[in-house]
Structure 1
């Protein structure tokens, strides 16, 4: 077994030289006498292809999945001392492009699922007419086409549907506009870094200058608007200058403005004892959707100040953190933007971490906040042997990565519902400053959830998938693998009371490698059916009546893709299914925290037609 270590977070796609990459990410193990990491001399006896295979499909996946395709190839050539026989090609071939028609893109020409939650309420629910699929059709879903992301090890940006097209970002930084019917490429756009956010579609301008734009954000905290018809850049705006700031949650388009949530990678970076932890501040930025100019920016935390020095003499700062990982929800009745926040990174803990927060849509003024877990300051150091930069409060890392869902209850009251990594589902009253309506525990909770990327709600119930990934520390790395026997399941709760209607346990991993039964991915629903993906590689459809599995597709396989890129399925985590126009689209491939790599977007229809 070939094992070596090249870990570390990917920021922007500026590729250092090979020697720098090796020293920064690999030398500590390969030159440090680690018995599980072959020496540089031993690796020079291998081909570049074999070293790359270890990083992409072998024992090295956990450590290498945060390196870009170009970086992995540079490292492989440096370690082996040999070059690849074939160049890496990521530009789509002419054969993958759609025939030119000259027709403008019109989102009104078909059903839509844009942004993260399908609508401004973030309920991840599509009615039968827009879905084009009834509950009785679901057992007949078959693969219609697969699209491959070249050079990528993960497929972690949710698809958006509008006007007969599918819009999707990628780890490699490309954003694609595809034909929903065939998967051919209308256009592609190169962002500066990985695009994890779902694409939102909105109309900007007026009169002869009016057009539809596609909005998204990337791993360098840059927001973009491109022409939805052609992919031409309209504007891009750097919404935060902090070095590891990023846009993970999907920007929300509403009434001519774009609301962009800001998160960061400082929870991981802050684990190093020599790092001045921590100074990132979560925020929402409101931009003019036509120009990209900032209208307001509201932070979820006050300006960090020097606090004390750690045991190796490095200055520490606080408070910090409270990132916004998910897409905002719009409350038109109260003219409010509703978000959930993450944990603090350093002491002192603040009052708006792990919280629901309401902001005025026009000004960004904070209207109210309701914290669900206090004193939650956490960095990755808190789970590592060297806890130098773990805050004294040593919080449980119970942030929200699920967006709030705004629903109307049968009695006319409204509720804001979200699951937390604590394993608790909360329902609060948005008309009474976040007053608690009910709280129900459905999972054990943990640093990977609990409840991770989001739930779905129809008029009666909220459907909550359980993550509860068990993290197994690796003795030769700061990374973790997943426990194949822990996590998973899905539960239905009554919206008005939190009463449990049913629970469906996870089927289990069996003997599959790099497997977890955890159901961390966002949930999606249509009348009678709820879709939930699993780290075990399966997408399953459950009856909303009793939780019975109606359809089960195992994505772990190779695919002949419509763009002729070698395709491989993997774990399902992060994004959920997007449903519309008689089709279901979802990603496969998510090696983080012990999952299986993959690089495909899969499209399903009834009988594959």
Structure 2
């Protein structure tokens, strides 16, 4: 495979910084406040802090400064931002918090109240939100139901609210907005359901739409006069706009002030089987692509498609880092990403042409990426032509939404890596066209790692293996450190040069979010949210570190040198199940079968086979409410718990609720009898 040659004169710690790189490194205790104003800090989306007060030599003195309990929260994916001595972050249901960055005092909270505005949207994704953005005295957040909000940063007052999605569609928002040049930008999810993906920018002052870019073409009438869509439509066949397209850009967006363009990481197809959505051929642009747009107008500039004719729920939605690297003796403006498909891409961000693309970890779907054509050299049989195919990585990817970090100091990327295989089984009756099962063949399958990647050499620099699959994002600092929270509840600092763990703290709960670093009054802080959660569509023991629904409080943890706060005791992880049942209840196998089909709407939160990992929602086999048919009917059909984040299913009849009840009871009895099946069907939603 082609690799980049690194000149010997470049020292490992040298930083080649351009206009969209991180700020210059400060030394010692900073005299001025240093903010963390965006999701991954600066416009380069590097997740890098120039602060170095906390470093290899001072790390032994790092301790807990304060904590803030967050009652009512559950799965926490947001990364706190820090501006002018205030931390801002979102909770599970997109509520926005403002907290004093020195003391942990709650200053204000804005309730998103999705359950009031459009509770129907709550059915399509379990409650998660990845954060907010700041610019010009305003905090911007986006809600599950598609509202983009502008709040006064000092008071939390709602300044405006703009509906960005069709209220009747299955589109939702879970990602953090990005701000630039008087605009705020947001994408959306729903590609798995076949919606037509798009991203849009809005005026920060008025909330009015400035521009919108569709990721995939629509009908011929919709495409007419739009060169980007007309070009894309030539890569689709049939009446794809009726069948479903996908491509929703649900997470990663990067702004490049040097080139005045934005990069959109687009999503997977829907349906997954290309023969269902585009029979007979076609690359299906701009699925699983990085698309560059003019930042002012939203007009297409270039694209690079990572998976032509995508067929495996692969997506290009992981964070994209803009940097300047010296390659073959000259400085190149590059964009770097490790998407779910397992190749680490280095693109020329002026032209979109690939400079390098190397496998990270176990990748079997392709031999290599042909850098001349930019296309993958696929392995035979991966498109389930014979009815099934087994390949690595799985749909959750070698890297998902948890952000990687890039250090201009070490010139290494730090990646929350995952190893898992997947079997795809052709299923024409299914909307997606396939069924999927997780595959575990070797000892690292189903587990995660922290991988340090050298993009110039095109190889792994070092690795730290974890016991669990689903772990947190990365923070790199000028103190020569890398921070990561993991599923087992440890928040750790590693030497950025060699991966040696130098410090760790037991947070009492797993973490999947990434930490931020900021300084106030010359003091450097590290902040992270503890709130483990995982999509419950599959039952996989390597994603279950024992955290239980409601057992461990969700918290914001903040650290500083000399911090001596004590974490209140919390319940330890537990794998014990307190299954309950009424042995007098007679259940009909036909009701169980019907209930299993209906339970598909409940799987995302309550788990396949009603086996829940506890974070998004309780295990219904342990629930007294789920054992009471009338209480279950009230919760499902009448929306008793809608204000607490559980959607109502008012389309269900009483008979259908009774069948769901029968299925839950059957699963409880199977567990009590020791017959709990290890269901491994998997998905990774947005």
Query: Aligning the two structures, in what range does the TM-score lie when normalised by the shorter sequence?
Result: 0.5 to 0.7
**Corresponding residue number in structure 1 for 2:320:** 404
CA contact (8 A) 2:81 2:516 kept: yes
1:127 and 2:46 matched = no
Shift of 1:351: 1.8
Q: Distance in 2 between matches of 1:253 and 1:191?
A: 20
Shift of 1:191: 1.1
Alignment of 1:223-302 (within 5 A): 223-241=148-166, 243-264=169-190, 267=192, 270=193, 278=194, 280-302=195-217
Residue 505 (structure 1) aligns with: 465
Cα drift, residue 260 of structure 1? 1.3
Once the two structures are superposed, the pairs formed by residues 94-493 of structure 1 within 5 Å of their partners are: 110-128=33-51, 132-193=53-114, 196-203=129-136, 212-241=137-166, 243-264=169-190, 267=192, 270=193, 278=194, 280-303=195-218, 317-346=242-271, 347-348=277-278, 350-376=284-310, 395-410=311-326, 411-443=330-362, 444-453=392-401, 454-459=403-408, 460-468=411-419, 486-493=446-453
Query: Residues 361 and 419 of structure 2 are in contact (CA less than 8 Å); yes or no, is this contact kept in structure 1?
Result: no
Q: Give the C-alpha shift of residue 304 in structure 1.
A: 6.1
Distance 1:138 1:218 in 2: 38
Q: 1:317, CA displacement in angstroms?
A: 3.2
Q: CA deviation at 1:109?
A: 6.9
Paired residues of 2:133 and 2:179 also in contact (CA < 8 A):
yes
1:360 positional shift: 0.7
Aligned match of 1:522 in 456, 473, 484? 473
Q: Please say if residues 584 and 605 of structure 1, whose CA atoms lie closer than 8 Å, have aligned partners that are also in contact.
A: yes
Matched residue SS, 1:488: strand
Q: Provide the rounded CA distance (Å) in 2 between the counterparts of 1:228 and 1:425.
A: 37
| Corresponding position of 2:661 | none
Quote the Cα distance in structure 2 between the aligned partners of 1:227 and 1:532: 31
Return the offset for 1:139: 3.7
What's the offset of the Cα at 1:195?
6.4
Alignment check: 8 A CA contact 1:114 1:199 kept? no
Relative distance call for 1:406 and 1:181 in structure 2 (3 A) is same
Deviations 1:266-300 (A, max 9, x none): 52xx4xxxxxxx3x122111100011000111110
Gaps of at least 5 residues in structure 2 are: 1-30, 115-126, 221-239, 272-276, 363-391, 424-434, 536-542, 565-686
1:122–1:404 contact (8 Å) kept in structure 2 = yes
Conservation of the 8 A alpha-carbon contact between 1:458 and 1:525: yes
Q: 2:529 aligns with which of 569, 572, 587?
A: 587
- 2: CA distance between counterparts of 1:226 and 1:152? 21
Matched-pair contact (CA < 8 Å) for 2:324–2:333: yes
- Residues 482 and 156 of structure 1, relative CA distance in 2, 3 Å threshold: farther
Q: Which has the higher contact order (CA 8 A, sep 6+)?
A: 2
Structure 1 runs of 4+ aligned residues shifted over 4 Å read 469-472, 478-485
> Number of residues paired by the alignment?
428
The separation in 2 between residues aligned to 1:237 and 1:302, in whole angstroms, is: 24
Secondary structure of the structure 1 residue equivalent to 2:212: strand
* C-alpha deviation, 1:408, in angstroms: 0.6
Cα distance in 2 for residues equivalent to 1:141 and 1:482: 40
Task: Name the CA distance, whole Å, in 1 between partners of 2:45 and 2:344.
Answer: 16
Distance across 2 between alignment mates of 1:138 and 1:325: 36
| Aligned-pair CA distance for 1:469 | 5.7
Q: Secondary structure at the match of 1:317?
A: helix
RMSD: 2.9
Task: Tell me how far apart the structure 2 counterparts of residues 172 and 519 of structure 1 sit (CA, whole Å).
Answer: 21
TM-score (norm 2): 0.58
| Structure 1 residues 604 and 479: CA distance shift in structure 2, 3 A | farther
In structure 2, relative to structure 1, the CA distance for the partners of 1:172 and 1:284 (3 Å cut) is: closer
The answer to whether the 8 A contact 2:322-2:335 is kept is yes
Q: Does the CA contact (< 8 Å) of 2:492 and 2:501 recur in 1?
A: yes
Structure-1 separation of matches of 2:503 and 2:347: 33
SS at match of 2:453: strand
**What is the TM-score when the length of structure 1 is the normalising length?**
0.65
Query: Contact 2:420 / 2:438 at 8 angstroms: preserved in 1?
Result: no
Structure 1 residues 39-78: aligned runs within 5 Å: none
**3-state secondary structure, aligned to 1:592:** coil
The Cα shift of 1:465 comes to 1.9
User: After superposition, what is the alpha-carbon deviation per residue over 1:442-500, rounded to whole angstroms, capped at 9, x for unaligned?
Assistant: 3442122211122111121111121236799xxxxx99999897221122222323232
Partner of 2:10: none
SS at the partner of 1:322?
coil
CA contact (8 A) 1:252 1:260 kept: yes
Distance 2:212 2:487 in 1: 36
1:127, distance to aligned residue in structure 2 (A): 0.8
Inter-partner Cα distance in structure 1 for 2:352 and 2:456: 18
Q: Distance in 2 between matches of 1:481 and 1:180?
A: 42
